[in-house]
């Protein structure tokens, strides 16, 4: 059985206190019982924003934590998060703690819209495009053990390329850093 940790704890912002408490409890359970993990090897077929075939897995297992930001051009919250996640990437790009990769769900047919979006709202981390379809949803479930709910969604992979956390909704950069620091102890 595949399990994942939910990148949510009392430090994370949430819509309601109840949601925060439930998420913290789920994280505690996941931290105590998560021994089976899944790797992302080839699970999401992607193309670069230039349209060339790409391998998301090549960005994992580099000895750094990797945050994958799943987003879409039509997602307002995703746009709000771009500067936050770019700043997080910039802070750690030359270090050994964290790298960030973007994954747009707009699909290859809408590649021009993705390119225009990134030109209008630039980010400092690499981005790729995949299809939001049943295959993506199934593979996401296989990877995380959960249903895909929407964007933005964040997947956090450890330095060995194994998924260790996932979270839908807005996040704060400091919360990711604290999660990594506490998981690295």
Q: How far apart are the C-alpha atoms of 160 and 90, rounded to whole Å?
A: 22
Give me the pLDDT at residue 43, please: 67
Q: How far apart are the C-alpha atoms of 110 and 70, rounded to whole Å?
A: 16
Give me the pLDDT at residue 185, please: 64
- Phi, psi (degrees; rounded to nearest 5) at 16: -140, 160
DSSP H or E stretch at residue 124: none
Q: How far apart are the C-alpha atoms of 137 and 20, rounded to whole Å?
A: 25
- Locate all alpha helices (DSSP H) within 123-172, ordered by sequence: 134-144
Give me the pLDDT at residue 17, please: 35
Give me the pLDDT at residue 95, please: 85
What tokens appear for 87 in the block? 């700043």
Q: What is the mean pLDDT of each run of 10 residues along the chain (185 residues)?
A: 42 35 34 36 80 87 91 97 96 90 96 97 96 91 94 95 94 94 83
Strand, helix or coil for residue 174? helix
Which residues have a Cβ under 8 Å from the Cβ of 93 and sit 6 or more positions away?
Answer: 99, 124, 125
HSE-CB at 115 with a 13 A cutoff on CA atoms is 10
DSSP H or E stretch at residue 182: helix 173-183
Please give the domain boundaries of the chain with CATH numbers for all domains: 39-183 (3.40.30.10)
Cα 142 versus chain centre, distance:
15
Give me the pLDDT at residue 42, please: 60
């Amino acid at each position: 059985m595949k399990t994942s940790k939910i990148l949510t704890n009392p430090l994370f912002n949430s819509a309601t206190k109840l949601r925060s408490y439930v998420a913290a409890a789920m994280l505690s359970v996941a931290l105590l019982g998560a021994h089976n993990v899944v790797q992302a090897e080839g699970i999401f077929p992607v193309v670069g924003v230039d349209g060339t075939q790409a391998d998301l897995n090549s960005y994992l297992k580099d000895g750094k934590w990797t945050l994958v930001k799943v987003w879409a051009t039509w997602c307002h919250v995703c746009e709000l998060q771009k500067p936050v996640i770019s700043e997080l990437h910039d802070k750690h790009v030359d270090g050994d703690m964290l790298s960030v990769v973007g994954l747009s769900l707009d699909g290859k047919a809408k590649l021009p819209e993705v390119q225009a979006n990134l030109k209008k709202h630039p980010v400092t981390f690499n981005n790729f495009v995949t299809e939001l379809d049943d295959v993506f949803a199934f593979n996401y479930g296989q990877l995380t053990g959960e249903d895909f709910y929407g964007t933005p969604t964040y997947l956090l992979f450890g330095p060995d390329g194994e998924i260790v956390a996932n979270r839908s909704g807005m996040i704060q950069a400091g919360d990711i850093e604290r999660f990594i620091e506490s998981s690295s102890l």
